[in-house]
Chain A
Amino acid sequence: MKPNTQKKIFDYLIKNKIQNFIGVPDSTIKYFIDQGFKKNKILITTREDEAIGIAVGMSLSKSHSLVFMQNAGLANSISTITSLVQLYQIPLIFLIGWRGYLQTDAPEHVKIGEIQSSILKLIGLKSKIVKDDNWKSCCKWALKQISNGSSCCLVIRRLF
């Protein structure tokens, strides 16, 4: 994805009342995170489940959050998603970097890259793959999901 698209995604979400951007960095979404730092809106945590916990606290205070991570973090967070986010029906947007999308990615990412879509389906977290030509409709979809009280996931493929 073009760096400028990632910046536009950040700007669009913050304009549309996503107030908190919390997570563990991934190089796939570097430009999204950089734009958040420019606006002083990024909170980096030690682990992905910690980020989800903080975001849930903010959501309980009626302030919407996005939680970002790479897909290794999704694997780390499954129990937190099922026993906190879904159990209490907390609306959050997840932004996940799809490591291992290409077979040429580093070996530790290949397996999780293969099973990521199945994991999302299995836990029932609705997702869309965000690209340069559909980013706005994906963002609108995600905003609608959380305004309906549901969590959802935006996925950005690592194409380098």
Chain B
Amino acid sequence: MNRKEAIELITRKIGNEPIISSNGYISRDLFYVNDKTTNFYMIGSMGLASSIGLGIAIKNPKKRIFVFDGDGSILMNLGSLTTIGTIKPKNLIHLVFDNGSHESTGGQPTCTNSISIAKIAEATNIKVFQVENESQFEKILVKIKKLLGPIMIVVKIKNSKETGGRVTLKPIRIKERFMQSI
């Protein structure tokens, strides 16, 4: 499973629920695969998708809030996991698409090749699942419907040359339509 396939799979399952997507290829692929007003494409501020998602989750307790993160970006903001694990938002679902690399900057390696993000998140009282193929991913997405968060799903993905183009919406437009729809 590559990132685009993983994003196609999950967006089919979660419909119109809000997504905060990290910068780089994750936002590009989400924009290409399933653009909708409830997507907040975070095109700058690398590392902060989970924090923005936490703020939205606290203020919208009746909605499930999805964060689409990468391994490189969550490694930049590991402190966020301790804050999420302390506040324990029941409605926050944090996806980490983990390819062990900074793919959009040339494929440089990240530490997830030797250190498990899942184990780090478990230590912060987050419910963590790790999946390596489509069928595991589908099963977990069904299972978490009955679970209270915070939840993390680490999705192991392969690098791929298949990526979407840049997000062509202006940032102000991304914000306005997200605020109107949430």
Nearest A residue to B82 via CB reads A46
Residue of B47, B55, B87, B171 most packed against chain A (CB within 10 A)? B55
B14 interfacial contact with A, CB 8 Å: no
Nearest A residue to B174 via CB reads A88
Partner among A43, A49, A60, A61 whose Cβ is within 8 Å of the Cβ of B48: A49
Chain A positions within 8 Å of B45 at CB level: 49, 53, 79-80, 83-84
Q: Do B52 and A56 have beta carbons less than 8 Å apart? A: yes
Complex-state Cα separation, A50 to B78, whole angstroms: 10
The interface stretch among B5-13, B56-64, B94-102, B140-148 is: B56-64
Interface residues of A: mostly helix, strand, loop or mixed? helix
Interface size class of A (residues with CB under 8 A): 20 to 34
Partner among A52, A58, A79, A88 whose Cβ is within 8 Å of the Cβ of B171: A88
Q: Do B56 and A61 have beta carbons less than 8 Å apart? A: yes
A89 interfacial contact with B, CB 8 Å: yes
Chain A positions near chain B (C-beta within 8 angstroms): 43, 45-47, 49-63, 65, 79-80, 82-84, 87-90
> Nearest 7 CB-CB pairs, A to B?
A57-B55, A83-B44, A46-B79, A53-B51, A61-B59, A53-B48, A84-B45
Chain B positions near chain A (C-beta within 8 angstroms): 20, 40, 42-45, 47-60, 77, 79-80, 82-83, 87, 171-172, 174-175, 178-179, 182
